[in-house]
Amino acid sequence: MKSTAVRRTALAASAAALALLATACGGSGDGDKKDEGKGKADASASAAPAAEALTAAELEKAALAQADVKSGKVATKLEATEDLTKDQVKPDDEACLPLVRAQAAVAQGEPAATVKRSWTDEPKKPAEDLPVEEAMMASLDVDKMLINLASYEDGGAEQAMKGLTTAAEKCAGGFTATVAGEKLEFVKAATTAAPEGGDEGSAVTLTMAVEEDVEAPSKIVVVRKGATLVSFSAVNLASVATGEDFEVPAEVVDAQVAKLG
């Protein structure tokens, strides 16, 4: 297994690390309202005021803080290996770019402002009577999540959500990408149940080829509230080694989404 690939995947948790990715969040309630007043909505859609893009200072206030979570550690400054830029992320198929950016915690499109955070779960203490290998694997059972908040003008957040959904459909059979100079292979992209709490939501599980006989999950969760898009990229260190599935910490996603109002 490439140690750098494992580290980058573990640190660039794209979720996704980011629980649960892609179907419209809050979709059922919104769908009923849409049907009830469809004619009126169509007539007044052009007059509806667009949500304003948050400034960098406003995004900082809205970003996850240590006091918002009951466990784990929130970091407000990312390490260089985690804090990637859009020029460091390049899929071989441009249609898959939204997925690669979300996986690497890079903002979609051209945001007006963006802020990043990371959350790392507390290591679990293995039982004293476990065999050495099992104890080592138990100590690796740590969830890691990178969080990117981005605000957009002129409907950019809605466009970014649509782009992510389209990419998940077009790239379901897998794709390759170069991330920070390293070639990564994703064998499939599967949409899963979306989170609630926003105007739209999406969740995708990416399966990455780690070594010849191991394929590891990386999860992406994306939620839109108004003109703000928040993406979560999540991995579990033990899952990177074993290929076993893991659950994205929903309480962390919920805490961040709640701060967007």
Residue 156 pLDDT class (50, 70, 90 cuts): very high
Q: Quick check: 22 pLDDT over 50?
A: no
Average pLDDT of span 6-32: 34
Three-class SS of residue 102?
helix
Q: Quick check: 56 pLDDT over 70?
A: yes
Q: Quick check: 4 pLDDT over 70?
A: no
Q: Output the DSSP codes for 141-158.
A: --EEEEEEEEE-STTHHH
Give the whole-angstrom CA distance, residue 222 versus residue 17: 11
Percent of the chain whose pLDDT exceeds 90: 65
Percent of the chain whose pLDDT exceeds 70: 79
Pairing relation of β-strands 214-225 and 228-236?
antiparallel
Nearest in space to 205 (alpha carbons), one of 99, 123, 130, 133: 99
Q: Quick check: 157 pLDDT over 60?
A: yes
Are the C-beta atoms of residues 241 and 214 closer than 8 Å to each other?
yes
Q: Quick check: 46 pLDDT over 80?
A: no
Average pLDDT of span 14-26: 29
Task: Give the pair of three-digit tokens for residue 93.
Answer: 């198929």
Which tens digits make up the pLDDT trace of 171-227? 999 999 999 999 999 999 999 998 889 999 999 999 999 887 889 999 999 999 999
Q: Quick check: 79 pLDDT over 60?
A: yes
Q: Quick check: 60 pLDDT over 90?
A: yes
Are the C-beta atoms of residues 175 and 153 closer than 8 Å to each other?
no
Q: What's the confidence (pLDDT) of residue 49? A: 56
Q: Quick check: 162 pLDDT over 80?
A: yes
Q: Quick check: 8 pLDDT over 50?
A: no
Give the whole-angstrom CA distance, residue 252 versus residue 231: 12
Q: Quick check: 26 pLDDT over 60?
A: no
Residue 2 pLDDT class (50, 70, 90 cuts): very low
User: Averaging pLDDT over each range in 117-121, 213-217, 239-243, which range is the top one?
Assistant: 117-121
Average pLDDT of span 55-78: 96
Q: Which residue has the tokens 């290929």?
A: 243
Average pLDDT of span 161-172: 97
Residue 145 pLDDT class (50, 70, 90 cuts): very high
Task: Give the pair of three-digit tokens for residue 214.
Answer: 């191991």
